[in-house]
Amino acid sequence: MEDIERAVSLMGVGMITVFLVLALVVLTGNALIKFVNAFVPETLQASPKSPSTPTSQVAPKKVAAITSAVHQLSGGKANIQKIEKL
């Protein structure tokens, strides 16, 4: 009976330890993201006048739909760099 109690207590300590370490990783990651977003300026890259891959490969309606979907999902924070037909 002592062995089972010891096993259960070790399992509980292990589970609590794993939970605390994972919580620490998540909290540290979120703090790092907030710090970087607050203090590191966003660098803007100059976009070329003519795209490297012509969008004529993809129908204009599809380009508009993809652009609209990305804009909605990202809240206007994302930019499309290139659309290629696979």
What's the whole-model pTM score? 0.47
Average the pLDDT over 1-27 and give the result.
Answer: 96
Q: Does residue 65 have a pLDDT over 70?
A: yes
Cα separation values, 69 from 10, 47, 80, Å: 49, 21, 11
Mean pLDDT of the chain: 86
Handedness of CA 20, 25, 26, 30 (dihedral sign): positive
Q: Does residue 21 have a pLDDT over 90?
A: yes
Terminal-to-terminal C-alpha distance of the chain: 63
In sequence order, the 6+-apart residues with CB closer than 8 A to the CB of 34 are: none
Cα separation values, 71 from 3, 54, 82, Å: 59, 21, 15
